[in-house]
Amino acid sequence: MREYIPVDTKVLRKSTRIIAVFLGLMCIALAAYIKSVYATIVGVLILMSMVLSKRTAVTEKGIEVTYDMVLFKRIDLWSFDEIKEIHKELSPEGTRYALHMMKDIMSKRLVFPIKEAEEVIELALEKNPKIHVAFVDSQKK
């Protein structure tokens, strides 16, 4: 099964994670001290957000965004049948394409090396030949 992972994934720095965990634990401790349910909820949500991992991939099914937490896992899927347009945007250094995948009024921006971007477009057109592919800059073809 073909799978393409975008190169523009954002990773939280270790210092940000440490501060967030500390803040979450402080909210829970404060909640126990002042007996506040709301502070407990905020602390738990902060801690849960630190164990959340998000993974985006273009597969033969479409665009899959997987949210994985300790307690549950959720997969959002944009099938190729739902995607109406793909707009290609060349990066300033000329080594990558940002592919803007359009579904109704929503858009996902995924960045790939040029070779992989072309393979993603071929896969999309193979699965749905009705997809319109165009450059963001109208001067290029």
**Which domain range does residue 33 map to?**
14-51
> What's the mean pLDDT in 56-72?
89
For residue 16, the Cα-to-chain-centroid distance in whole angstroms is: 19
CB neighbours of residue 99 within 10 Å? 24
Is residue 128 predicted with pLDDT exceeding 70? Answer: yes
CB neighbours of residue 141 within 10 Å? 6
Predicted confidence band of residue 140 (pLDDT cuts 50, 70, 90): low
94 in a structural domain: no
Q: How far apart are the first and last CA of the chain?
A: 30
141 in a structural domain: no
Phi, psi at 85, each rounded to 5° = -145, 150
Q: What is the predicted pLDDT for the residue at 2?
A: 83
135 in a structural domain: no
Q: Which DSSP helix (H) or strand (E) runs through 35?
A: none
| Percent of the chain clearing pLDDT 70 (strictly above) | 96
64 in a structural domain: no
